[in-house]
Structure formats: structure tokens, C-alpha cells
Amino acid sequence: MATYQESMQMLKLTSRTFYLPIVRLPKGIREAVASGYLCLRAIDEVEDHPTLEAEHKARILHTISQIFQAQTSADSFAYHALETAFVEYHDVLPEVTLRVGEWACLAPTFIAPRVWEATATMADRMAHWAANGFEVVSIADLDRYTYGVAGAVGLLLCDLWAWFEKIQIHRTHAIQFGRGLQTVNILRNRSEDLSRGVNFFPEDWDKARMFAYARENLDSFSDYAKTLPKTTFMNFVAIPRALAYATLNVLERGEKKLTRKAVMEIVKQLESKA
């Protein structure tokens, strides 16, 4: 079983964007969100793996989903089933994926099954996308993909905060927030995706249209967020939202990514306003 320190270290290694807001959360919601992030990152690493064939990705993801669907409590979590499922791929998969069962049990026991449900569902959805070669033809395909990989994460966060802070967040805007963040990732990783034969742009879409899609979703969430009271949820989304907008700005200027210095300046500005 992973310790809290190990979980935070893995979080830091896999995403500083989310490590910073997660580590600042109060105890309880911090572990729940970290658990959710690491479990879903474990899925993402299989989906995006550079050498695994599509059929192997789909097999691994379906197996993870089936194992998670069979769980009831952290006390009886089937770590051994995951270990068995990963034997063939132990030297191929990253640590964050191999230890997905440990991350699953990091969340408080009361809410952990909600994290498992999100993990199982996303694994099945990503198995489908891996099997069909991530084929995006229409805007409906793009909507489905961005919902499955990120919009649904927004729904998970709504449920986690409803449990922890007894607040209700509009689910539609949570989906839009996830979609917006994922579209920023698509734009940032455009060259890398094309090099592996993946194109998330619908037919006849250029970068300008994809930038507009990202901003439409982020702007809708941001307008809604202005109506919300100051809570730990608002503190949490502030960093990824600001980084998403800043990344769009640099990409539109033709730069490859947001510099580390720029990231830290944004974080510092947000902290001064907190």
C-alpha cells in the first residue's frame, strides 16, 4: 500500500500542473482528489503508450475496468488481480499504472468507490478509443472523446466536493471545464499526436477552430465560476484554469509551450490573491 508521501511524489512526477493545487487542499479532499488523479493518469499512460499495440492497450484497459468493477472496499481490494493482469506488461508499463490499485485506496473509504467507478468507466471508454485508433471525424466524435477523457473527470470532482464541502456545482459547466482543459492538451500535443498517427481534429477543422472550441468551453466555465462563492473548489480549479488560458495564448503566438518560469509566475500571482 502506498504511503501518502509516495502518492504525493508520484503526483509531482506525473503532473506539476495538478500537484500544486492538490497538495494545497485540506486533508480528506486532498487524498480523494489525488487518488482520482493518479488512477486516471494510470489509465492515460496506457492510452498514450508509444509502443503498445492497440489490441494490447484495449486488453489492459478492459481488464483494469473489470477488476475495479468487482471491488467493494479498500480492505478487500484485489491488488493481486491487478498484479496478475500486469505480469506480461511489467517491463513496459510505467509505475503509475502498475500501482493503480494502491492509488485507488488512497481516497477516504467513504468516497473511494466513487473514484473506482470513474476509473472503471474511463478505462472502458479509453479501451474503445484505443481499439478504433482514436478516430475523430465529426465534432460529435470530439465531444465524445473530450467528455470521456476529461469531462467525466469534472463530474467526479463535483461529487467529491459535494461529499467533502457539501456544495453543489453545475455538472454541465464541470464537463465544459474538463473539455476545455483536454482541448488545450490536444493543441499542445498536436505534433506528437500526428507523429504517432493520431488526429483529434474533426474533418475540415484547422487550429483556429480548435482554439475557439477550447475557449468556448473554458469561457463558459469561467463565466459560471464567477457566480460561485469562494471555496476550496475554486482554489483548486484556479491554477489549471489559469495555466490553460496562458497555454492557449503562447500556442496562438506560435510558441511550443508555457515556460516553467511563466508557470511559477502564474502560481505566485494566484497565491497572492488567495
CATH topology of domain 139-274: Farnesyl Diphosphate Synthase (1.10.600)
User: Cβ atoms within 10 A of the Cβ of 158, count?
Assistant: 19
Question: Three cell numbers at 126?
Answer: 479509453
Q: How far is CA 11 from the centre of its chain?
A: 12
- Which of 120, 140, 5 lies closest to 67 in space, CA to CA? 120
User: Cβ atoms within 10 A of the Cβ of 230, count?
Assistant: 8
Burial of 113 (0-12, 13-18, 19+ CB in 10 A): middle
Burial of 217 (0-12, 13-18, 19+ CB in 10 A): buried
- What residue spans in the chain does CATH classification 1.10.600.10 cover? 139-274
210 within 8 A of 242, measured Cβ to Cβ: no
Could you report the per-residue pLDDT of 230-258, keeping only the tens digit for each?
899 999 999 999 999 999 999 999 998 89
Return the pLDDT at 260: 87
Could you report the per-residue pLDDT of 165-219, keeping only the tens digit for each?
999 999 999 999 999 999 999 999 999 999 989 999 999 999 999 999 999 999 9
Return the pLDDT at 274: 64
Cα separation, 4 vs 144, in Å, equals: 34
Buried b (16+ CB within 10 A) or exposed e, 232-241: bbbbbbbbbb
Return the pLDDT at 47: 94
- Which of 61, 51, 112 lies closest to 82 in space, CA to CA? 61
Could you report the per-residue pLDDT of 90-144, keeping only the tens digit for each?
999 999 999 999 999 999 999 999 999 999 999 999 999 999 999 999 999 999 9
Its pTM stands at: 0.94
Could you report the per-residue pLDDT of 142-169, keeping only the tens digit for each?
999 999 999 999 999 999 999 999 999 9
User: Cβ atoms within 10 A of the Cβ of 265, count?
Assistant: 12
Q: Amino acid letter at 236?
A: F
Section 61-67 average pLDDT? 98
Cα separation, 122 vs 147, in Å, equals: 10
